[in-house]
Structure 1
Amino acid sequence: MLAVEITSRGNAETDRTEELRGYANAAVPLYLLVDSWHPNGAAATLFENSGNGTYQRHTTVPFGKPIALPEPFDLELDTSEFPLPATAAEEDD
């Protein structure tokens, strides 16, 4: 019903492209991408309505905003606790 991927710096592009296509081709109804490395800032994206190897709809929210998961979950996921990526200075420590 739901596949979830959490990106790391090394796999973010794969999760956004290859994994996305793979789940759509497998007709997984919902794909949630928790993407600390999103080009526009840390965000969660829910892809819905898979068909013909793609998802017909997606919703992206920045970390800190809720994202709605439809039936059978029917809930809002709080993203305010999702970790932001480490800064270069933190990675050097």
Structure 2
Amino acid sequence: MTVTTDRNHLGTEIFDELTRILARTDERVRMELIDGKLRSKVVPDGDHGRIIEWLLRICMQSRPELFLYPDQGLKVQAYRSGRARPDGSLAPSGAFVGQGEWVDPGPVLMAVEVTSYDTDTDTDTDTDTDTDARDRTEKPRAYAETGIPVYLLIDRDSCEVTVFSEPDGVRYESARTVPFGKTVVLPDPVGITLETEQLKDWVR
């Protein structure tokens, strides 16, 4: 489900109230606010969760001082006017202690999204928008505006991994895509090498 206003973008105060209401009615749905649009992320399937587990283990083995926080709410975009829940946020251990549901993204070294197979419906335009298309288009822009150094997209439809880096405040200047099975390097400040062969086991 995607909900947008006709003329004005949804503000964070209205968004926060809507998420509180929705949390009481359907715990399976997680809400985001990207470019003023209210969007939902359905609870992921088992293979999606397995990919996050795989990545979490690699990160902890390679960089034990860091932790990959699943579904941590981040204040994103210019002026922190957006709200996103990356599938994973790589940051120093304990980086978000004492903060609420939506945290300062400053400590985040890498945001991670794994594409889902469900679809969203845009109620303003009556067109279907795939959740994974949002991960490819809207999220890179939002995370680049936020200044998150690396964005890792694991695309289960195309069976590819894309590493976005070098944010300039508007977009990522570098994007490298490799098929599942190839080795890919997550650049500094992450500094982790991924062997992606196992990802082939967790796609439809």
Shorter-chain TM range is: 0.7 to 0.9
Give aligned-pair identity as a percent.
37
CA distance in 1, matches of 2:182, 2:116: 20
Query: How much does 1:73 deviate?
Result: 3.0
- 1:26 Cα offset (Å): 0.5
Q: TM-score, normalised to structure 1's length?
A: 0.81
Q: Does 1:4 align with 2:112?
A: yes
Query: Aligned ranges for residues 41-80 of structure 1 at < 5 Å?
Result: 42-80=159-197
Q: Aligned partners of 1:37, 1:22: CA distance in 2, in Å?
A: 22
Normalising to structure 2: TM-score of the pair?
0.39
User: Which digits, 9 at most, give the CA deviation of each residue in 1:49-90, with x for residues without a partner?
Assistant: 00131000011110000110122332310111114531xxxx
Aligned residues: 83
**d(CA) in 2 for partners of 1:65, 1:35:** 14
Q: Could you say which structure has the higher helix fraction?
A: 2
5+ residue gaps, structure 1, are 87-93
Higher relative contact order (CA 8 A, sep 6+): 1
Q: Which amino acid aligns with 1:85?
A: V
Flag structure 2 segments of 5+ consecutive residues without an equivalent.
Answer: 1-108, 119-130
